[in-house]
Structure 1
Amino acid sequence: MMEAGDTPEEDEANRGTETLQGKGERNGKPKDPKQKKRDKELSNSVEESIEYWHGEDKVPESLNQTKEVLTEVMGLGASFDVVFREMTFGGTKAALLFISGFAKDVILDEILKRLTYLTPEDISSDAFAAFMINYIPHIQVEKSEKLSDAVIKTMSGMSALFVEGEAQVIIMDTRSYPVRGPEEPSIERVVRGARDGFTETLLSNIALVRRRLRDPGLKFELHQVGRRTKTDVSIAYIDDIADKTQVKAVTEKIKSVNIEGIPLADKQLEEAIIGEKWNPYPMVRYSERPDIVASHLLEGRVVVFVDTSPSVMVIPTTFFDLCQHAEENRQTPLMGSYLRWVRFAGIFASIFLLPLWMLFVIHPELKPAPLMFIGPHETAKIPLLTQFLIIEFGVDLLRMAAVHTPSPLGSAMGLIAAILIGDIAVQTGLFVNEVVLYMAVATIGMFATPSYELGLANRVVRLLLLLATGLFHVAGFVIGSTLLIVLLTVNRSYNSSYLWPFIPFNAKAMGAILFRQSVISSKTRPSFNKTRDNTRMSPATGKKDKS
């Protein structure tokens, strides 16, 4: 139980409430004796609210008392979608509590139809046991003695059946969430491959992974995060592959999260369990593809599902994991390696192309002989560094505008950006041709980055390198690049090296990063994950298949 103290501000608020109540009485409205108690309630959780109004977290034996507590705790009578249906079955009073938007009408109709046939003789001995065991035709049914359990599970979509004279409640899983069908993720599209992606429903997402991994060792542990939101969070891992120490660390971290809620789902949970404040680089990998998540589970990773989010978190991750795409594994090893090298080149260009070009323009003596053609042949009215900064912010504005622009207007916005802004700016002498060209190449490299979060981080690093190079020339570029490598080296994703297998160096694993390996040649799992079972196939099987 928590009540506000008698501070001057609260005394003034109480006097204001009493004044309003006095005015209500003068206007003919009766004074609500519970209003002052409502104004003083400062409960941080459902349990505290029930204890505040009922004195203990137990199911009342009286339905009238249960209704009074629910009226104060979950807005019964005030919220139109909270239903407390009182009925009589076989001479015994009962009440069904559910949220109308979550309840599955077909299941509830079948349950109520069965209960209406009861006679007093059917439930003469033990009404609760009769309802629980014999007369509720539903699979997922449980009982509880805590009123908070009934309230929390009702808010998540279940239904609670209270029986007069019983200090227990029957909780039935009659949920039916509003969902959309699985669609291909817009960020992780492939030319060939599955077209299903995660949705905002936790159970559907788990089923998509279960369909691909029929391993009995695949575990999905369920937890709830948030004192108010009670958001369902599931931790997935393969029991005989994943590192138990890592699983335990992630589980304890999620259990220790003590915030009011995570309405923005996985991103807020990431900030709560990772704790990296100003580091631009993502410490987890987000994916909306169930086939990618299944592959990571087979590698020994830990995957975190958050209800209401169409993406999941893969823990731990590395910089090179974020640079890989599902399309590479849908092609032959040769073409997959080619696509990977092109993507690596694009990511490198998105970070270093503009700072290097600026450095060569400022110091032409540093240019190698084959690159002597690099550099603007005409001057512009705006300094070079200012041109880069204006175009950088312009590209970000265009990116944000593209997100908020309706699809029919997207082509029109592209024409405005390409013709009115780019071409005219060059013709009027505000910008240099090469500045626009190289910025376009760097932007394409950023968009070619598979991880959206990594692309944004590289964009911030590029901006900082531009500033350092423009202000401090060679020293700025060298020191900035060195600090970038140091930042990536010291980063730890759940006590795992962020630059593995480059730092610490692992030649075999680095070769698998640079060249896409065939399934038969990938006989062991990455040592980065510290898996309990490191073998994907036995050496004898590999030799037999090879022959």
Structure 2
Amino acid sequence: MEFSTNLQDNIDYLHKKLNVQNNFDVVYRTLHIGGRTACLYFIDGFAKDETLLKILQVFSTIKEEDMPGDAHGFTKRYVPYGEVGLIKKDDDMIVQLLSGVSCLLIDGYDTCIAIDARTYPARGVSEPEKDKVMRGSRDGFVETLVFNTALIRRRIRDPRLTMEIMTAGESSHTDIAICYMQNRVDQPLLEMIKKRIQNLKVDALTMNQESLAECLYPHKWFNPFPKFKFSERPDTAAASVLEGNIIILVDNSPAAMILPSSVFDIIEEADDYYFPPITGTYLRLSRMFISLLSLMLTPIWLLLMQNPELIPSWLAFIRLSDPLNVPLIWQLLILEFAIDGLRLAAVNTPNMLTTPLSVIAGIVLGEYAVKSGWFNSETMLYMAFVTIANYSQASFELGYAMKFMRILILILTAIFNIWGFAVGVILSVCAIVFNKTIAGKSYIYPLIPFSLSELKKRFLRGRLPHTEK
């Protein structure tokens, strides 16, 4: 429905549509501008009071004979503000208003004047708790979309950097920013992403980027290996944009979605590039090796315990030193779930109680659990290493994918012994090999298809482009 030139009709319609009588934060002010009645709508908490006050002061000086004939002429002459738009339809105006834009209706004009004098409650762009680095910038993404785009713009001062805005959700109308370099992006992939977002039929992106990710890639949900890389660091996002990747920022989310992402992209971290090449290479290779070890350590140990004849003499010390009261497979599975229980408890524990409860949990699950006979000390040792190893890489999704594959191998090894171990390893390899990125390309490129030059870049941290002669 388009606006009428009769202001009272517009006010009656909007009051009913916005339920102004019950919504205390939907504020409207009736004004007189140039001898005409006007009405200003805004959301309390979203409007910049100082900016609106200055604009209203200008309106109070307009004389009746100086009033232009349409809203376009009015904005050109009397709205001394940069971000101003004209809206013809009431539905568009309501979405803008609920997003924080102040909307002005003037009697005799059939167009709404949208003044983007909004501000959002926001925290500081401090270093994210999740993606910390030993060296590098200490700023991070926040929940306000425009702040996040500004952090990327600050690092890439190139006119070819494009940030397109889209919306999704019938009720939420969530803002989504797609960031890319025009001359480097994969155009077919970009068009596919934009088309999928435009065709989304969802009520709201309740879980922000996770909701969007599941809508963009609805297939193969049973494969636990992540299809996207998430980062709360603007330097990581800027570097990915310069590499030709697409960054998706969702309003109310402090993380950037990077795509397409292979398993090597997900394993990479900012620390690899904030140190010299030899140190960055060591950190990267260590992370890969530790991730592989976290997957295979306990299944291999279980296999050797079930087949003592396979243990070489130089590894004889790995045998159990105490009597076995509970089967090893049950010890390992119980500890897998107990560790997740402790992790969930740590998330919900108040900060003031974190230290004492951690001490209690360490004593009870450590010394007393072994003395009681429920667990052997070797089982506790290997599971402690696996738990710590899961934090060697930043991606929670990849860590849990490794965990699910490890549990699968453990169960198959306990049931079918050597053959079960072999089948479990093959299934884990297939889950990685046959996985695809959102672009439909290999998840383990440059291994498949093989590219030696790209493989060197994945395993060895070379010199940065700006250091080359």
State TM-score, norm by structure 1: 0.83
1:495-514 → structure 2 map (5 Å cutoff): 495-514=440-459
2:414 aligned residue (462, 470, 475): 470
Q: What residue number does 1:527 align with?
A: none
Q: What residue number does 2:382 align with?
A: 438
2:77 aligned residue (112, 134, 137): 134
SS in 1 for 2:66: coil
1:180-219 → structure 2 map (5 Å cutoff): 180-219=123-162
Displacement of 1:154 after TM fit?
A: 0.6
Cα distance in structure 2, aligned partners of 1:68 and 1:481? 68
SS in 1 for 2:191: helix
Cα distance in structure 2, aligned partners of 1:332 and 1:136? 53
2:109 aligned residue (146, 166, 169): 166
Q: What residue number does 2:167 align with?
A: 224
Cα distance in structure 1, aligned partners of 2:285 and 2:135? 20
Displacement of 1:134 after TM fit?
A: 0.8
Residues 182 and 504 (structure 1), Cα distance of their counterparts in 2 relative to 1, 3 Å cut: same
8 Å CA contact 2:225, 2:431 repeated in 1: no
Cα distance in structure 1, aligned partners of 2:19 and 2:442? 49
1:363-382 → structure 2 map (5 Å cutoff): 363-382=307-326
Displacement of 1:385 after TM fit?
A: 0.9
1:352 aligned residue (278, 296, 310): 296
8 Å CA contact 1:337, 1:516 repeated in 2: yes
1:361-387 Cα deviation digits (max 9, x unpaired): 001222344323322122232111111
1:450-482 Cα deviation digits (max 9, x unpaired): 212111221121111111111111111111111
Cα distance in structure 2, aligned partners of 1:306 and 1:165? 38
1:246 aligned residue (167, 189, 209): 189
2:449 aligned partner, one-letter code = P
Cα distance in structure 2, aligned partners of 1:294 and 1:498? 22
Displacement of 1:101 after TM fit?
A: 1.3
Which has the higher Rg, Structure 1 or Structure 2?
A: 1
SS in 2 for 1:87: strand
Which segments of structure 1 move beyond 4 Å, counting only runs of 4 or more? none
Displacement of 1:275 after TM fit?
A: 0.8
Cα distance in structure 2, aligned partners of 1:72 and 1:364? 78
2:384 aligned partner, one-letter code = A
Displacement of 1:67 after TM fit?
A: 2.2
SS in 2 for 1:187: coil
Q: What residue number does 1:400 align with?
A: 344
Displacement of 1:130 after TM fit?
A: 4.7
1:215-259 Cα deviation digits (max 9, x unpaired): 111000100011110100011100001111111111111111111
SS in 2 for 1:337: helix
Displacement of 1:108 after TM fit?
A: 0.7
Q: What residue number does 1:317 align with?
A: 261
Matched, 1:292 2:236: yes
Matched, 1:266 2:266: no
Cα distance in structure 1, aligned partners of 2:446 and 2:323? 45
SS in 2 for 1:154: helix
Q: What residue number does 1:78 align with?
A: 22
1:225 aligned partner, one-letter code = A
Cα distance in structure 2, aligned partners of 1:503 and 1:356? 27
2:368 aligned residue (409, 421, 424): 424
Cα distance in structure 2, aligned partners of 1:484 and 1:75? 55
Cα distance in structure 2, aligned partners of 1:420 and 1:142? 63
Q: What residue number does 1:340 align with?
A: 284
Displacement of 1:66 after TM fit?
A: 1.7
Cα distance in structure 2, aligned partners of 1:315 and 1:235? 11
Cα distance in structure 2, aligned partners of 1:409 and 1:107? 45
Cα distance in structure 1, aligned partners of 2:459 and 2:57? 64
Cα distance in structure 2, aligned partners of 1:326 and 1:127? 53
1:98-177 → structure 2 map (5 Å cutoff): 98-123=42-67, 126=69, 128-177=71-120
2:57 aligned partner, one-letter code = K
1:474-529 Cα deviation digits (max 9, x unpaired): 11111111111111111111212111122222222222222211115xxxxxxxxx
Q: Which runs of 5+ in 2 are unaligned?
A: none
Residues 100 and 514 (structure 1), Cα distance of their counterparts in 2 relative to 1, 3 Å cut: same
Q: What residue number does 1:283 align with?
A: 227
SS in 2 for 1:142: strand
Matched, 1:256 2:168: no
SS in 1 for 2:179: strand
Matched, 1:517 2:451: no
Cα distance in structure 1, aligned partners of 2:152 and 2:444? 28
Cα distance in structure 1, aligned partners of 2:178 and 2:72? 35
Matched, 1:97 2:97: no
Cα distance in structure 2, aligned partners of 1:497 and 1:72? 54
SS in 2 for 1:372: helix
8 Å CA contact 1:288, 1:310 repeated in 2: yes
Residues 379 and 274 (structure 1), Cα distance of their counterparts in 2 relative to 1, 3 Å cut: same
SS in 2 for 1:149: helix
Cα distance in structure 2, aligned partners of 1:283 and 1:127? 51
Count of equivalent residues: 467
1:95 aligned partner, one-letter code = C
Q: What residue number does 2:305 align with?
A: 361
1:340 aligned partner, one-letter code = R
SS in 1 for 2:248: strand
2:402 aligned partner, one-letter code = N
Q: What residue number does 1:50 align with?
A: none
1:360 aligned partner, one-letter code = L
8 Å CA contact 1:357, 1:375 repeated in 2: no
8 Å CA contact 1:92, 1:127 repeated in 2: no
Cα distance in structure 1, aligned partners of 2:458 and 2:367? 40
Displacement of 1:278 after TM fit?
A: 2.4
1:13-35 Cα deviation digits (max 9, x unpaired): xxxxxxxxxxxxxxxxxxxxxxx
Provide the alpha-carbon RMSD of the alignment. 1.5
Cα distance in structure 1, aligned partners of 2:377 and 2:446? 39
